[in-house]
Amino acid sequence: MSTVRRCAALGVVAATLMLGASEARAYCRTTTCDPERRECTRDAKGCAVAGTPLYWASECVSFVVHQAGSARHGIDATLFASEVSAAFQRWLEVDCGGGRTPKLTVQNLGPVECGRVEYNQRGGNANIFMFRDEEWPYVGGEDALGLTTIRFDPKSGRIYDVDVEINGASGIPISVGKPREGAADLASILTHEVGHFLGLSHTVAENATMRPAYEIGRDLTKLGDDDRAGICEALAPDRVTETQSCAPRHGFSSRCGGTKGGCSVARPGAGSGSELALGALAIALGAARARRRARRDAEPTRSAGIAGRPSSRAVRRTAD
Ligand SMILES: [Zn+2]
């Protein structure tokens, strides 16, 4: 708890330095407060000020991509993984002042056979990036381009697991590399979703990657001042970390259900845990807004949304 608070305080100082005295911060961090369970006090910028900010306790995080990549969009797992890596690097090479960068490194653990959003309390895990080519399972959320689900400890805000889904079934072409007329840019989508992965929520700041809506043709790979200030708070260069391990919670598993495959470096869990999930990038329809949904059941279930406002989702469970 005290670690989180200290990080936040240091981050605010860094943000002030970066933005200058006349420019107010707008970025929001995702917090443990679940608006579907209780009123979450928000500030003038719409940021939840209730709850504890979510954070990565480690100095290193790992990710995997689903081995199928996206057949529909002609993106294989290798290309997909390199795009995900590049998205992380955009955030992790930000200059937080004096040449210091956010305190986190990222490791690619390779393609996996599991293509499910899940978190295993009794088995290994993986932070999975995957396409949904056949069907986007969130009814009412068809204008979302991506969705990030985060599991965390509801007391401390410590992040346990993150899974990212890319909507390949929207009917909108997805391009890699050179922008294509009428196509959504994968690098832009991933840069936004990785912002959620790292603990940021949506912002109202102009020219920010973490704005909730995406207009086709826009380039979100260039982070705005607000994005940079946000990441320098969430992953402050001098933040206190608990481990250098890149391993997912309870060790790495490439298979659904947590069957261990390959290296396994489980870290014993302490106390009760829980989980949440959040974040998506919606195609700009003028109505993209954050939306959260709470869940009490042990297994994830796909939930209905409200048309035109599918831009984020929260899942909370008692788990460790
Ligand atoms: Zn989003």
What does the block give as tokens for 230? 């946000």
Using the mean position of ligand 1's atoms as its centre, give its distance from the Cα of residue 53 in Å. Answer: 16
Q: What is the pLDDT of residue 281?
A: 57
What's the 95 CA to ligand 1 centre distance in angstroms? Answer: 23
Q: How many Cα neighbours within 13 Å face the side chain of 7?
A: 29
Q: Which residues fall within 8 angstroms of residue 45, CB to CB, at 6 or more apart?
A: 24, 25, 26, 28, 203, 204
The rounded Å distance from CA 126 to ligand 1 centre is 21
Domain count, the chain: 1
Rounded CA-CA distance 205/66 in Å is 33
User: 153-204 pLDDT, tens per residue?
Assistant: 999 999 999 999 999 999 999 999 988 899 999 999 999 999 999 999 999 9
How far apart, in whole angstroms, are the C-alpha atoms of residue 142 and residue 49?
29
Distance 259 CA to ligand 1 centre (A): 31
For ligand 1, the distance from its centroid to the CA atom of residue 162, given in whole angstroms, is: 14
- Ligand 1 centroid–CA 290 distance in Å is 8
Which stretch of DSSP H or E encloses residue 202? none
Report the candidate in 196, 245, 246 with the shortest Cα–Cα distance to residue 91: 196
User: What separation in Å is there between the alpha carbon of 283 and the centre of ligand 1?
Assistant: 10
Q: How far, in Å, is the centroid of ligand 1 from the Cα of 313?
A: 9
> Which pLDDT value is given to residue 283?
54
Low-confidence ranges of the chain (pLDDT < 70): 1-24, 260-320
Q: How far is the CA of 268 from the centre of ligand 1 (A)?
A: 31
pTM for this prediction: 0.79
Q: How far does the centroid of ligand 1 lie from the alpha carbon of residue 164, in Å?
A: 11
Question: Contact 240/3 with Cβ under 8 angstroms?
Answer: yes
CA of 311 to the centre of ligand 1 (A): 6
Q: How far is the CA of 193 from the centre of ligand 1 (A)?
A: 6
Distance from residue 261's CA to the centre of ligand 1 (Å): 31
| Neighbouring residues of 241: CB distance < 8 A, sequence distance ≥ 6 | 57, 58, 59, 103
Please check whether residue 77 is in contact with residue 69, taking contact to mean a CB–CB distance below 8 angstroms.
yes
**Per-residue confidence (pLDDT) for residue 142, from 0 to 100:** 79
In the chain, where does DSSP find H-type helix? 2-19, 77-92, 186-197, 225-234
d(CA 153, CA 319): 8
- pLDDT reported for residue 42: 87
Query: In the chain, what is the greatest distance between 2 CA atoms, to the nearest angstrom?
Result: 53
CA 76 to chain centroid: 22
Distance 249 CA to ligand 1 centre (A): 24
> 123 CA to middle of ligand 1, Å?
29
CA distance 257 to 122: 9
Which residue matches tokens 């993150």? 162
Distance from residue 147's CA to the centre of ligand 1 (Å) = 7
Distance 130 CA to ligand 1 centre (A): 16
CA of 192 to the centre of ligand 1 (A): 6
Direct distance between the N- and C-terminal alpha carbons of the chain, in angstroms, rounded to an integer: 17
Please tell me the predicted confidence (pLDDT) of residue 23.
47
pLDDT at 14: 27
Ligand 1 midpoint to CA 212 (Å): 5
- Return the residue matching tokens 């402050």: 236
pLDDT digits over 256-287, tens only? 998 765 433 333 332 334 445 444 455 543 22
271 alpha carbon, distance to own chain's centre: 24
* Structural domain boundaries enclosing 239: 2-318
Identify the CATH number of the domain in which residue 104 sits.
Answer: 3.40.390.10
Contact 311, 28 (CB under 8 A): no
- What does DSSP say about strands 213-214 and 174-175: parallel, antiparallel, or unpaired? unpaired
| pLDDT on residue 24 | 61
d(C-alpha 88, C-alpha 127), whole Å? 13
The reported pLDDT for the residue numbered 260 is: 60
Q: How many CB atoms lie within 10 A of CB 209?
A: 29
